[in-house]
């Protein structure tokens, strides 16, 4: 009976089981899981509803969870340190996820996440996922490998971007030096 009460409290907030299962199955982190393993993950998720303009988390807050958008849209926004307008880095749509680095440690969020229209999301907290991984190590491996791949891909992308920026800085520096040399030669003539 008591179990029924709690289930009904959660049920009110929860989308249909099939749609959540489909959403989880379509997400890279959980695509390797079997149906019963996805059910285990579904048992630890938190359903949250946000109004348009409401923050899901703020930049610099310690991260503790990852989020999956079920319905609506979330903007990832970075504060302009020089006091200008906030910069929208990305928009997260239905079936996409964000804040996954919160699954690794409590390091500060690099950007804020703000609902840009009424949005339903599910949150998976690090302690709950770690506990689930301890209970079911096979599931843990299946989640951790794509998570590491995701981080490696991001690191590679960041390295490429860094290398591009370094190259373009070097090129513009070389260009500036060339111009200065030409100017000096013109003045000498």
CB 47 within 8 A of CB 122: yes
Q: Quick one: 60 or 171, whose CB is closer to another protein?
A: 60
Q: How far is it, in rounded angstroms, from Cα 98 to Cα 65?
A: 9
Q: Using the rule CB under 8 A, which residue among 15, 26, 62, 178 binds another protein?
A: 62
Judged by DSSP in three states, 60 sits in coil
> Tokens 């003539």 identify what position?
189
CB 147 within 8 A of CB 28: no
Length of the chain in terms of residues written: 189
Site for another protein, residues 17 to 56, rule: CB under 8 A? 43-44, 46-48, 50, 54-56
Q: Quick one: 44 or 101, whose CB is closer to another protein?
A: 44
Does 73 participate in binding another protein (rule CB under 8 A)? Answer: no
Question: Shortest gap between Cβ of 86 and another protein (angstroms)?
Answer: 14
> Looking at 20-28, 119-127, 140-148, 165-173, which segment touches another protein (CB under 8 A)?
119-127
Q: Using the rule CB under 8 A, which residue among 24, 77, 123, 147 binds another protein?
A: 123
CB 91 within 8 A of CB 139: no
- Give, to the nearest 10 degrees, the angle between helix 17-26 and helix 35-42: 110
Backbone angles phi, psi at 85, to 5 degrees: -70, 150
Question: Shortest gap between Cβ of 111 and another protein (angstroms)?
Answer: 14
Q: How far is it, in rounded angstroms, from Cα 96 to Cα 106?
A: 22
Question: Shortest gap between Cβ of 173 and another protein (angstroms)?
Answer: 39
| Residues of this chain that bind another protein (CB under 8 A) | 2-3, 6-7, 9-10, 13, 43-44, 46-48, 50, 54-58, 60-65, 106, 108, 123, 125-128, 131, 134-136
């Amino acid at each position: 009976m008591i179990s029924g009460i709690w289930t009904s409290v959660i049920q009110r907030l929860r989308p249909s089981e099939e749609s959540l299962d489909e959403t989880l199955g379509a997400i890279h982190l959980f695509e390797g899981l079997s149906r019963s393993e996805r059910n285990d993950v579904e048992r630890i998720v938190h359903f949250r509803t946000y109004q348009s303009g409401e923050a899901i988390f703020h930049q610099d807050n310690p991260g503790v969870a990852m989020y999956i958008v079920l319905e609506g849209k979330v903007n990832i926004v970075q504060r302009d340190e020089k006091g200008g307008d906030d910069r929208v880095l990305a928009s997260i749509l239905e079936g996409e996820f964000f804040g996954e680095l919160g699954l690794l440690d409590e390091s500060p969020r690099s950007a804020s996440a703000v609902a840009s229209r009424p949005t339903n999301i599910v949150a998976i907290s690090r302690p709950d996922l770690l506990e689930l991984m301890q209970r079911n190590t096979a599931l843990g491996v299946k989640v951790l490998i794509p998570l590491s791949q995701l981080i490696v891909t991001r690191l590679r992308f960041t390295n490429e971007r860094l290398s591009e920026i370094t190259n373009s800085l070097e090129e513009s520096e070389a260009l500036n030096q060339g111009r200065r040399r030409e100017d000096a030669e013109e003045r000498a003539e």
